[in-house]
Amino acid sequence: MANIVDVPVAQEKMTTLKSLDSLRDLQKSPLLFFSNLTQRYGDIVQIRIFFWPVIIINHPDYIKQVLQGNYRNYNKDVPIFNLFKPLLGNGLVTTYGGESWLQQRRLMQPAFHRQRLSDLGHQTTSSIETMFQHWERYALKHEPLDVAEEMMHLTLNIVSQALFSIDIHERANLFGEAFLEINAFLLEYFNRPFPPLNFPTPRNRRFHRALKTLNTVVYDIMKQHQQAPERHQDLLSMLIEARDEETGEGMSNQQLRDEVMTLLVAGHETAANGLAWSWYLLAEHPEVEQKLHEELDRVLAGRIPTIEDLPNLPYTRMVFEETMRLYPPVWIIMRKALDEDELGEHKIPKQTYVLWSTYAMHRHPEFWERPEQFYPEHFLPEQVAKRPRHAYIPFSHGPRICIGNNFAMVESQLILAMVAQRYRLKLVPDQKIEPQPLMTLRPKYGIQVYIEPR
Query: Where residue 210 falls among pLDDT bands split at 50, 70, 90?
Result: very high
CA-to-CA separations, 333 to 25, 193, 403, in angstroms, rounded: 19, 20, 16
State how far the Cα of 206 lies from the Cα of 189, in Å rounded to an integer: 13
The model's pTM: 0.92
Residue 2 lies in a domain: no
Q: Which residues are known binding-site members?
A: 402
User: Is residue 336 predicted with pLDDT exceeding 80?
Assistant: yes
Q: Ramachandran region of residue 112, left (φ > 0), alpha (ψ -120 to 50) or beta?
A: alpha
Average pLDDT, the chain: 89
Query: What would the pLDDT profile of 280-300 be if each residue is shown by its tens digit?
Result: 999 999 999 999 999 999 999
Q: What is the DSSP letter of 209?
A: H
Residue 124 lies in a domain: yes
Query: What would the pLDDT profile of 150-190 be if each residue is shown by its tens digit?
Result: 999 999 999 998 888 888 877 888 898 899 899 888 878 87
If one counts every other C-beta atom within 10 angstroms of the C-beta of residue 253, the result is 12
Asked if residues 438 and 184 have their Cβ atoms less than 8 Å apart, the reply is yes
Looking at residue 150, its pLDDT comes to 96
Residue 423's SS3 state is strand
- Alpha-carbon dihedral sign for residues 279, 390, 377, 384: negative
Average pLDDT over residues 10-24: 52
Asked if residues 49 and 70 have their Cβ atoms less than 8 Å apart, the reply is no
Span of 80-89, 103-112, 178-187 with lowest mean pLDDT = 103-112
Q: What CATH number is given to the structural domain containing 292?
A: 1.10.630.10
Residue 68 lies in a domain: yes
Query: Where residue 315 falls among pLDDT bands split at 50, 70, 90?
Result: very high
β-strand pairing of 15-16 with 44-49: parallel
Indicate the residue type of 124: T
Domain that includes residue 19, residue range: 15-453
Looking at residue 20, its pLDDT comes to 45
State how far the Cα of 435 lies from the Cα of 244, in Å rounded to an integer: 43
User: How many structural domains is the chain composed of?
Assistant: 1
Query: Where residue 232 falls among pLDDT bands split at 50, 70, 90?
Result: low
Q: Which residues are known binding-site members for heme?
A: 402
Residue 7 lies in a domain: no
Asked if residues 281 and 114 have their Cβ atoms less than 8 Å apart, the reply is no
Residue 6 lies in a domain: no
Residue 5 lies in a domain: no
Residue 279 lies in a domain: yes
Residue 379 lies in a domain: yes
